[in-house]
Structure 1
Amino acid sequence: MKFSFENDCLVGYLEFGNLYASPNSLKGYKPYELMVTSLVTCSGALLVKLLQKKRIAFTNVSFQAEGNRNPDIANRIESIKITAYITFENVIAKEQLEKIEQLVIKNCGMLQTIIDSVNVTYSIQTKPAYGEGDAYD
């Protein structure tokens, strides 16, 4: 990967295209946004792969991520909570979802990189596509 500093932002010349990063949100993505995005992307892709491998039918997957930062220690990230919202075609047992959550945490390289220094919470909320059920559990 190649990077340069131009016009008050860092430009990454990456395989997909240029990526602009800056503490100023008018000039590029903030480093915190990139960090959280990498965690959600890695864990989310793994989650979808696990569901497909287990032949668990789903119609929609979305994510919400929240982080807590410590302004007294360089504004470091203290904790990150990632919630996957999945619409399944059939009801999925809570125990099976908990196993999948643990597999995601255990096998996601980005999460494993930070897990010893950041409190990571990963959960799956569900809703059946057809039949009974309210909003996400």
Structure 2
Amino acid sequence: MKFQLTEHGVSTEFDFGKLDISGDAQYGFRPFQLMVASIVGCSTSVFRKILVKQRIDIEDIICEAEVKRNPNEANKIEEIMLTYYVKGQQLKEEKLQKSLAIARKNCAMVRSVEDSITINETIIIVSK
């Protein structure tokens, strides 16, 4: 990956498109947003793959992330609370929790930050 310094941050080009990163939201994605998006994107995708492999039929998963940052330490991300809203019929919470535990062990982004950022996860079942 190659990143180019710009007037307001850095920019890079990927196969999917251009990515502008800046501490100022009017010029690009903020670094903490990308960190949280990487964690959510990875964990949700792996969670879905585990559910598919276990033949647990779901309609949708929506993940909301709440972030706690420490302003006394360069606004460091200290905790991310992930709430997964899993939509489907006749879903069993115990099976979903076991699947999420497996997903957590297989998510590269969560594993990369687990010693420095607390990741808490909650599942809410949304029935039709």
Which TM-score band applies after superposition, normalised by the shorter structure? over 0.9
Work out which structure has the larger RCO, using CA pairs closer than 8 Å and 6 or more positions apart in sequence: 2
Which residue pairs with 1:132 in the alignment? none
Inter-partner Cα distance in structure 2 for 1:118 and 1:73: 13
Which residue pairs with 1:91 in the alignment? 90
CA RMSD of aligned residues (A): 1.1
C-alpha displacement at 1:42, in angstroms? 0.3
C-alpha displacement at 1:15, in angstroms? 2.2
Q: Secondary structure at 2:79's aligned position in 1? A: strand
C-alpha displacement at 1:122, in angstroms? 1.6
Kindly report structure 1 stretches of 4+ aligned residues shifted beyond 6 Å: none
1:111 equivalent to 2:90? Answer no
Unaligned runs of 5+ in 2: none
Unaligned runs of 5+ in 1: 130-137
Inter-partner Cα distance in structure 2 for 1:127 and 1:73: 38
For 2:30, the aligned partner's letter is K
Inter-partner Cα distance in structure 1 for 2:99 and 2:121: 10
Which residue pairs with 1:67 in the alignment? 67
Contact 1:2–1:14 (Cα < 8 Å) also in 2: no
C-alpha displacement at 1:106, in angstroms? 1.0
Q: Deviations over 1:19-60 (max 9, x none)?
A: 011011000000010000000000011011111111111112
Q: Higher mean Cα deviation, 51-60 or 39-48?
A: 51-60
Which residue pairs with 2:122 in the alignment? 123
% identity of equivalent residues: 34
1:3 equivalent to 2:10? Answer no
Q: Deviations over 1:67-93 (max 9, x none)?
A: 1011111111110011111111x2222
C-alpha displacement at 1:125, in angstroms? 1.1
- Alignment of structure 1 residues 17-56 onto 2, 5 Å: 17-56=17-56
Please give the TM-score of this superposition, normalised by the length of structure 1: 0.88
Please give the TM-score of this superposition, normalised by the length of structure 2: 0.94
C-alpha displacement at 1:97, in angstroms? 1.5
Q: How many residues align?
A: 128
Inter-partner Cα distance in structure 1 for 2:27 and 2:94: 44
Inter-partner Cα distance in structure 1 for 2:2 and 2:14: 7
Q: Deviations over 1:63-122 (max 9, x none)?
A: 10011011111111110011111111x222221121112112111000000111111112
